[in-house]
Amino acid sequence: MAKQHIKLTDLARQLGLSVSTVSKALSDSNEISYQTKKRVLELSKALNYRPNTLAKNLKQSRTNTIGVIIPDLLNYYFVKALNSIQESAEKQGYSIMTCITNESLDNEVRYIEMLTNGSVDGLVVALSIETQKKKKFDHFKQLIDNEFPLVLFDRVSDEINCSQIISNDASGGAQAAHQLYIAECRNPLLVVVNSDLEVIKRREEGFTRKWYQLSSGSSVIRLEVLDLDDSEKEISDFLYNNNKIDGAFAVDERLGIKTLKCAIDIGRNVPENFKIIAASNGELSKEYAPSLSVIDLQENKIGSSAAEEVVRLIKSNVLKPKTTIIAPKFLLRQSS
C-alpha cells in the first residue's frame, strides 16, 4: 500500500497560501508574482510534489493516453507496429495503454468498453480474426456514433466508417509476382494461410492478377495451409509431387520460412532453381540462411501514421475519416 503523496493542500498550508495560488504558481501563470512562484517551486521540489494525474485528467476531461488494441503480441508484425505507435505517441506527448485480444471478439468488445470510459482520449485498433470472420462491428459503430477518435490499422473493415491505415497489400502481391518473374521463375506456388483475413485476400489477389498479366494468361497454383505450426509435411509433399514448381510466394513470413525450409529439404536449390518471396519482414527472414526475400510492409510507418492520425482526430472537432495507404517495399535477399 503506497504512502500518501504530497498534494496541493499540503504545499498551500506550509506556505500560508491558497491552493489556487499554488496551482497557478506551479503552472507558471503570469498572474503570480515572481517571489511566490519561487517559494512555491522550491517547496514543491523539496517535498517532491507531483500532481495527481487522475485528478488532473478528471478535471480537464482528457488523459493524454491512447488506447491500443491488438490481436496478438507474439506476432512480430504487431509488435513492430506497437513499437512505433508508442514511439510516435510519446513524441506527441501521449502515453499508451495496451490490450491484447488474443484474436477474440469478446475480448475486443470488453476492452473497448473499458478503455472508452474515460481512460483514453482515442483508440488505435487492429481487428481480431474472429471479428473479421463474424463481421460484428457494433462496438465500433457505437464509438463512431459517439464521435470517439478511432483509427484502425492493418486489420480493418470497409463497414467501419473511421480513419484507417493499411498497406497496399495488392501492390505487395503484385511486386512479389513481378520479382519472381524477372528472376525467371515461371511456375510459382502461392502459399496461403489465414485466408479469412482481408490483408491476405488482397495479397493473393494482387499476386494472382499480376502473374496473369506477366505470364500472358497462365494461372497460379495455390496451396492453402490450415495450421501453420503443423504445415511442413504438407508443403514438402506438395512440392515433391509438383516438380515443375520453381518458386513460391508465401503470404506470411513464417509460412515463407516453412516453405523455404521444405524446398531445401526436398532438394531444391534456392535460389538457383527455386525462388521464394514472402510477405512481411521480420527477424526470421533476415537471419535465416539463405536469407528470405520479402515484401516489407513498413510496419514502422503504419504504426506512426496510426498514432499521428489518432492524435489528429483527438485534436480536431469534426471527425473527418482519412484512409492512409502505405506502400510496401520489396527487399531482395538470397532466396530469389
Nearer to its own copies, 63 or 171 (CB): 63
Q: Tell the smallest beta-carbon distance from residue 208 to its own copies (Å).
A: 27
User: Which residues between 85 and 104 bind DNA (CB under 7 A)?
Assistant: none
Q: How far is the CB of 62 from DNA (least distance, A)?
A: 10
Asked if 74 interacts with its own copies (CB under 8 A), we say yes
For DNA, the closer CB: 61 or 241: 61
Q: Which does 80 bind (CB under 5 to 8 A by kind): DNA, its own copies, none?
A: its own copies
CB count, 10 Å around CB of 193? Answer: 20
Q: Which is nearer to its own copies, 148 or 274 (CB)?
A: 148
Q: Which of residues 186-245 bind its own copies (CB under 8 A)?
A: none
Rounded distance, CA 255 to CA 273, Å? 20
Q: Say which residue the cell 474515460 belongs to.
A: 118
- Residue 207 CA to residue 176 CA, distance in Å, equals 7
Let me know how long the chain is. 336
Give the x/- contact pattern for DNA in 48-87, rule: CB under 7 A: ---xx--xx-xxxx--------------------------
Q: How far is the CB of 95 from DNA (least distance, A)?
A: 17
| Whether the Cβ atoms of residue 132 and residue 197 lie closer than 8 Å to each other | yes
* Near its own copies by CB under 8 A: residue from 13, 38, 46, 50: 50
Q: How many CA atoms lie within 13 A of 96 on its CB side?
A: 28
Task: Return the one option of DNA, its own copies, none that residue 311 interacts with (CB less than 5 to 8 A, by type).
Answer: none
Question: By CB under 7 A, what part of segment 303-332 binds DNA?
Answer: none
Min CB(290)–DNA separation in Å: 58
Least spacing, CB of residue 44 vs DNA, in Å: 10
Write the interaction track for DNA spanning residues 10-39; mark x where CB under 7 A is met and - where it is not: ------xxxxxx-xx-xx--xxxxxxx---
Question: If DSSP states are collapsed to H, E and C, what string results for the chain?
Answer: CCCCCCCHHHHHHHHCCCHHHHHHHHCCCCCCCHHHHHHHHHHHHHCCCCCCHHHHHHHHCCCCEEEEEECCCCCHHHHHHHHHHHHHHHHCCCEEEEEECCCCHHHHHHHHHHHCCCCCCEEEECCCHHHHHHCCCHHHHHHHHCCCCEEEECCCCCCCCCEEEEECHHHHHHHHHHHHHHCCCCCEEEEECCCCCHHHHHHHHHHHHHHHHHCCCCCCEEEECCCHHHCHHHHHHHHHHCCCCCEEEECCHHHHHHHHHHHHHCCCCCCCCCEEEEECCCHHHHHCCCCCEEEECCHHHHHHHHHHHHHHHHHCCCCCCCEEEECCEEECCCCC
Q: How many residues bind its own copies (CB under 8 A)?
A: 57
79, 109, 214, 331: which one binds its own copies (CB under 8 A): 79
Q: Is position 9 an interface residue for its own copies (rule: CB under 8 A)?
A: no
86 binds its own copies (CB under 8 A): yes
**Is the CB of 9 or the CB of 242 nearer to DNA?**
9
User: Can you give the binding site for its own copies, defined by CB under 8 A?
Assistant: 1-3, 5, 48, 50-55, 57-58, 63, 65, 73-74, 76, 79-80, 82-83, 86-87, 95-100, 113-114, 116-119, 142, 145-149, 254, 257-258, 261, 264-265, 283-284, 287-289, 314, 316-317, 319
Instruction: Using CB under 7 A, list all residues that contact DNA.
Output: 4-5, 7-9, 16-21, 23-24, 26-27, 30-36, 51-52, 55-56, 58-61
